[in-house]
Each structure stands twice: as structure tokens, then as C-alpha cells.
Structure 1
């Protein structure tokens, strides 16, 4: 089955302006103009973020949609894939954001516009716990691209979280996956973009 609808989910403190989101959007527009591509700005609340996504993809064909997620977006992508039964691509995915983001409770700035501020509230931790799909078998094929040089997340934890996924584990690299463009053809092929 080919992918006609593609969702991209950015990471914590990130946005649709992230390098990987823009590269994906550009690639899809250039090579697959008939594919519906959506990269929403996710609100800080995990519950609100997934409500926004669920509403946005409500009319999408489940048999021909897919999701890509980076970092916290990878954690969200696993939730979307589980509920939509669609293929997913995780880029340096967050494995336990409820644990890792607890230290970020309070006022935060976004990466792409430091003048933009938001509050990460204590209740968001339990919202993340409610979205955790660990321990459930994948409902559709998964691809995980993991950098051993990730300075934010432990690559072993990421690899261990997705044992059934097709994994690409990079020597070196970084959390931002600066060479993501090199792997777009693989992502394209894996998702069979229409």
C-alpha cells in the first residue's frame, strides 16, 4: 500500500520550522506532490497535542497514511501509529519523556524563536505517561533512525524500545540528525510515498 497522507510530528521546544520538518516537506512537495503533508505546531500539553492530531487526521484514510516523528514527536508517532494502525518512522525517538522532561517543568523557549515562550506544566508528566505505548506490539511496520552520538537521548534505550522496527543505527551523528537528508530516500522507500 502506498502512502497518500503523511503526518510529521516535531519534538519538544521545536516547530514545523525545524530542519527535518522543512526537509521532509520540501522532499514531499518536490517528489510526491499528490501526497497530503501536514506538520502541525504542537501545543505544550501532550493531551492537547494528540487531540489536535486526532482531529486533524480524522478524515485521513487509515490504510494509506503514515507518520514521522522526531524526538518527542517520535514518542507521539508511536501513539498515532498504534491508534491509526499506520506505518511510522521515528527519528531519535524519546522513549521515556515523562522521566526526561520532568526537569523542564516551568517556562521554556522554543529553539527556532527564543522570544517565543511557553509553560511546561507539572500535569503534562501524567499526560505523557497516559500516552506511553511501550510494551505493546507495533500495529504496523516501524522504521527507527537512531544516532549513537545523540547528546540528548541514549541510543541503546531507543534501539531497545523498538525491537521489531527496521533500525538504522548511525555511528556518531547527533540529536538533530544533521545528515537527515541522506536518509530521506530510505524514509521515502519505507513509506512507499505515492
Structure 2
């Protein structure tokens, strides 16, 4: 007897990184793909600077999504948030160069910041946001079998060794070279979608 196929995913969330937005390369490509998928609920919110507010927004916005039929993709800081969200259960997750120690790494960014995709957009990264990140910190994924992680050794922002160690129990893909944005995203997208039960 063959095992039943996993249920198809009907709801997909994308979480962007620090100073990023739904206009990021990967988010925009996924939005275009999602728009062509009948019956798929897609959401890529602009995350507020406050980590606590970002997680509250995401959890409230997905509270009615069906467990076992929902998936999240997260890049960089969005990968950190996605790991925390997946820890709630009922999610499949793809993490792309996920932040591991954002409370440490973002401390130097306290103050006024500009958005990557629109320098005219400014926000203030407050000192208390560091404590919020420490509170959220999920550690290693609680359900590693439901998580796929993509790490570029050439990441110019985060240490690929730290990322690989934190996510060693997940389906881990460590890529030679590459960059933080994962410019080779198109090459790996189908494998990500298959893992998320979004395509055969």
C-alpha cells in the first residue's frame, strides 16, 4: 500500500528581510507566480520595524489559515520570523539565508534607516527592538522535517556556517558561492515549491 500524498498547500505567506519589502526580487517573483495559481491565497505584508509588531501582524493575519495547508517562505530576518511562526505547528517552511542572531547583528543599525527599494522611505529602528528579537528567538526549528533551508556560502551579510549549524536538522541546501539575496533563486524555486506542496 502506498502512502497518501500530502495535502496540497492552499495558503502561502512570504516574509521579507530587514529594510526590505514586498518589492524585493524574490517576493515580486513569487507574487507573480502566485497570481497565476487558482485557489491559492497569497500574502506578502510590509512588515513593521518592530519585531513584536511584525510577529503580531503575521500571526493575526494567518490565524484563520488551515493548519497543514499553509506554508511560509522567509528570507534573512523574514527567515527568522518564519522559523518562529513554523514553531506554532501546522506550517511547512522554506528559509532563504535565514538570520540566526538578529539581536546581535542588528544592534549596529539602531537609529534611522532607509528602505532598500525606496530610499525615500525612512524608519527608525529602536533600541527596544533588540529585546523584542531576543524574546522571539525560536532557536532551531521545532519541526525540522517541515523546514527546507537554502544557504549561500557567499552570503555577504550573514555567516553561512552559523546558519547551517542552526538549521542542520532541516532539509539543508548549502550552495557554493551565491549571495545574500540568493540571485540564483530562479534555479531553486521549483524545488522550494515542491517542498511546500505547491507543485508536483
Length-normalised TM-score, structure 2: 0.93
Aligned to 1:19: 25
Matches for 1:1-194 after TM superposition, within 5 Å: 1-30=7-36, 32-135=37-140, 137-138=142-143, 141-193=146-198
Q: Give the CA deviation at 1:164.
A: 1.2
Structure 1 stretches lacking a partner, 5+ long: none
Higher helix share: 1
Q: Distance in 2 between matches of 1:123 and 1:117?
A: 18
Say which is worse superposed, 18-27 or 108-117, in terms of deviation: 18-27
Q: Which runs of 4+ in 1 moved over 6 A?
A: none
Q: Distance in 2 between matches of 1:53 and 1:45?
A: 12
Q: Distance in 2 between matches of 1:35 and 1:136?
A: 25
Q: Give the CA deviation at 1:135.
A: 4.6
Q: Give the CA deviation at 1:28.
A: 2.2
Report the number of matched residues. Answer: 193
Q: Give the CA deviation at 1:137.
A: 2.9
Q: Distance in 1 between matches of 2:58 and 2:189?
A: 23
Whether the 8 Å CA contact 1:10–1:72 is kept in 2: the answer is: yes
Whether the 8 Å CA contact 1:5–1:60 is kept in 2: the answer is: yes
Q: 1:94 to 1:136 in 2, by over 3 A?
A: closer
Length-normalised TM-score, structure 1: 0.96
Choose between structure 1 and 2 for higher RCO, CA contacts under 8 A separated by at least 6 residues. 1
Write out per-residue CA displacement over residues 105-140 of structure 1, whole angstroms, 9 at most, x where no aligned residue: 000000000010000000000100011111563265
Whether the 8 Å CA contact 1:81–1:139 is kept in 2: the answer is: no
Q: Larger radius of gyration, structure 1 or 2?
A: 2
Whether the 8 Å CA contact 1:91–1:146 is kept in 2: the answer is: yes
Aligned to 2:3: none
Whether the 8 Å CA contact 2:8–2:198 is kept in 1: the answer is: yes
Q: Distance in 2 between matches of 1:83 and 1:126?
A: 21
Aligned-residue Cα RMSD (Å) equals: 1.2
Structure 2 stretches lacking a partner, 5+ long: 1-6
